[in-house]
Amino acid sequence: MKTPRGWIRAICEILLTVNSIAGHVSAAATPWENSNSLIKRALPDPPPPGYVDSVLNRLARWLTPPLDEAVDGRFYPYEEGHHVVGVKDLRGCTAVVIPSDKGVFVAHVWEIPVFRGSEREQTLRSEATFLRLGFESLVRGNPDCTSLASLVGTDETPGPMHRFYHPEVHVITPYTTRDEQRQGIHTPLRYEQYANLLAHRLQSLVGGITPGGIVRGYFRGSAREARSRSGTVGRAFLEYDTNELPPRRIPKGPQNPEGKPWSVLEGKWRLWVGPSHNEEDERIFRWRVVEDRPAAGSGSGSGSRGSQH
């Protein structure tokens, strides 16, 4: 049994622990102000119940495909904080999601006329027609689609989708339904051949870390489910948080030959297809480099955030 002095000591230890935790929580609000911070603002894994619906209702920005173009696409530069961008109302069409260190390119490719000529036609378009309407439209762009070629740029003037920034191609396409299986389509994905071809061509265009790209399937729901304001049916989206990790100093070396006081800010993205995400489809990305500057009134050390690169 504790003596009065022992109880006092125990209470003091509890108060010190509470103050320490409060200090860490305060520091986590602005992680770049302390490059040695061990605080981590993580995307919850596994997500708690109701997490996905809450995030989509609060944060999602959806690409809205037009009716007069075969493809629609847009580049979203990363914005500081927690965000979601993606494609909804997928009921047979295909989505393209290409995250890099600078942002994410999201595109919608219509099932008709890109993969098939009409609702009644079950046979695929010719490969040449598919590439012209699908792949080449994404590369050159149109009034509703930012040109991927312009986003790639050149080695001299690299764009945000250049291989320097580790772009990774994801093609999300429908699974084959039972009705389609009865009609003689026996591949797991309805447009498996062309989805793989599109992923391969796009990854070859942007370069990056995943030869051939990545193809994922999704289950088609009803029109009402896909168009609903809530839920995940018929949706593919990228969730990211730029404050996933505390800033990391860049030591003197090939990336910093002059030994400048630079730190890299790292975030994390993960791709959701419907209600779930695959652990293979999440990455840490280096989205910004900042120059550490001494805080006002101090002679040295890292203080507030400086210029950004």
DSSP 134-146: IIHHHHH-BTTB-
How many Cα neighbours within 13 Å face the side chain of 100? 24
Name which of 218, 233, 243 is nearest 83 in CA terms: 243
Lowest average pLDDT, out of 50-54, 134-138, 173-177, goes to 50-54
CB 263 within 8 A of CB 302: yes
Burial of 22 per CB tally in 10 Å (0-12, 13-18, 19+): exposed
pLDDT of 67 above 80: no
Give backbone dihedrals phi and psi of 223, rounded to 5 degrees, phi first. Answer: -60, -40
Calculate mean pLDDT across residues 181-190.
94
Looking at the DSSP bridge assignments, the partners of residue 175 are 189
| DSSP type of residue 82 | E
Instruction: Quote the strand ranges of 177-213, DSSP E.
Output: none
pLDDT band at 102 (very low <50, low <70, confident <90, very high): very high
Lowest average pLDDT, out of 42-46, 60-64, 135-139, goes to 42-46
| DSSP type of residue 256 | B
Looking at the DSSP bridge assignments, the partners of residue 172 are 95, 216
CB 158 within 8 A of CB 95: no
How many Cα neighbours within 13 Å face the side chain of 63? 30
Question: Above pLDDT 90, what percent of the chain?
Answer: 51
Peptide bond before residue 251 is cis, with ω within 30 degrees of 0:
no
pLDDT of 205 above 60: yes
Rg (CA), the chain: 24
244 compared with 1, residue with greater pLDDT: 244
pLDDT band at 211 (very low <50, low <70, confident <90, very high): confident
- Please state, as a whole number, how many other Cβ atoms lie within 10 Å of the Cβ of residue 164: 16
| DSSP type of residue 33 | G
pTM of the model: 0.78
Q: Which residues contact 209 (CB under 8 A, 6 or more apart)?
A: 166, 168
Q: What token pair was written down for 304?
A: 């507030």
Which H helix or E strand runs over 170?
A: strand 170-174
298 compared with 10, residue with greater pLDDT: 10
Calculate mean pLDDT across residues 259-274.
85
Calculate mean pLDDT across residues 39-49.
74
pLDDT band at 307 (very low <50, low <70, confident <90, very high): very low
pLDDT in tens, 128-137: 999 999 999 9
Q: What token pair was written down for 189?
A: 């994905």
Q: What pLDDT does 226 receive?
A: 75
CB 43 within 8 A of CB 270: yes
User: Nearest 10 degrees: CA dihedral of 48, 97, 84, 100?
Assistant: 100
Q: What token pair was written down for 9?
A: 């000591």
Calculate mean pLDDT across residues 117-137.
93
Q: What is the mean pLDDT of the chain?
A: 81
Calculate mean pLDDT across residues 265-277.
88
pLDDT band at 20 (very low <50, low <70, confident <90, very high): very low
